[in-house]
Structure 1
Amino acid sequence: MSLADGDRARGWRALAALQNRIEDRIERALQEAHDLSVNEFCALHLLSQAGEGHLRMQQLADRLVLSQSATTRLVSRMEERGLLTRTLDAADRRGICARSTEAGRRLLAKAVPTHNSALDDALAEASELPELGPLVTALESLDVKVEESASA
């Protein structure tokens, strides 16, 4: 292993540590305040950002970075809670789309401030750690819309 490979591996481990720290903080906050998981929040957020107000199940899986089966289980749980519905794709009747319900949109609106506050807290805490501070600085300097990148 070359020095560059070792640096890259350390960088990857630091990035994974930052991601885990952030996700854990957000998960706890969303569960406590809204009985909502990070994946449920992300699904509702992605659906709210979709131009047509819905996404095909494969698109949702790709954007959530989940398998088809994990996405199906997630959507089923959310459907049972009345947060979203599944419908046939009007453009291609073979496809199934997920669409948030009014209850899902209301819950998302309530959860966004909780999510943002937990994210801010996690980043502030991580920025104080020497191994994660540079990553937080780099993250805060980005001006990227992840959803647009994922759909490209």
Structure 2
Amino acid sequence: MDNMNELNEEEMRIWNMWKGSYKRIFGRVVKDMSEQTGLSEGDFGVLDRLVQFGEGKLRQQELADSMDWDKSRLSHHLTRMEKRGLVQRKPLDTDRGVQINITPAGRSVLDEALPVVSTAIRKHFLALLTEQDMKSIIALAERTKAP
């Protein structure tokens, strides 16, 4: 290949296979979770991050950053979750920020969803991997981390 700015047919095929595999696996996990718990991918992402990164509470901007969502998208999603009793917004006294808290109902739904998600990840991804596959994925993930 003469031009390093272009992918050859094999490189493009590998790239498309990688993207397609990820989308299929992720889609199957989300489908299982949604069907069994009623949570959307976004709902789970919010609840899981509140617990994992903030012990049940995070500033709205920190939550948006962790999800790679813009403030408007997160705000609309939180409004829907708040109406369902899963989260609560609380203005912070110290500045103009807003803190997002998981409610007891939100924690209960998350607790029910976690084993469903674990089972789906195992079924649709981990069970298909050999030991060598796992080592290769780990090595690739390490090499592609941001500097």
* Fold equivalence (TM over 0.5): yes
Give 2:136's aligned residue: 138
For structure 1, which runs of at least 5 residues remain unmatched after alignment? 129-133
CA–CA distance in 2 between the matches of 1:127 and 1:59? 34
Please give the residue correspondences for 1:97-136 in structure 2 after superposition, counting only pairs within 5 Å.
Answer: 97-124=99-126, 127=129
CA RMSD of the aligned region, Å? 3.2
Give 2:40's aligned residue: 37
Tell me the CA shift for residue 59 of structure 1: 1.2
CA–CA distance in 1 between the matches of 2:140 and 2:50? 23
Which stretches of structure 1, 4 residues or longer, exceed 4 Å deviation after superposition? 3-12, 124-128, 134-137, 140-144
CA–CA distance in 1 between the matches of 2:56 and 2:133? 34
- Secondary structure (helix, strand or coil) at the match of 2:125 reads helix
TM-score when normalising by structure 2: 0.76
Percent of aligned pairs with the same amino acid: 29
Q: Which amino acid aligns with 1:42?
A: G
For structure 2, which runs of at least 5 residues remain unmatched after alignment? none
Answer whether contact 1:86 1:98 (CA < 8 A) is retained.
Answer: yes
Structure 1 67/22 Cα, relative in aligned 2: closer, same or farther at 3 Å?
A: farther
CA–CA distance in 2 between the matches of 1:9 and 1:89? 49
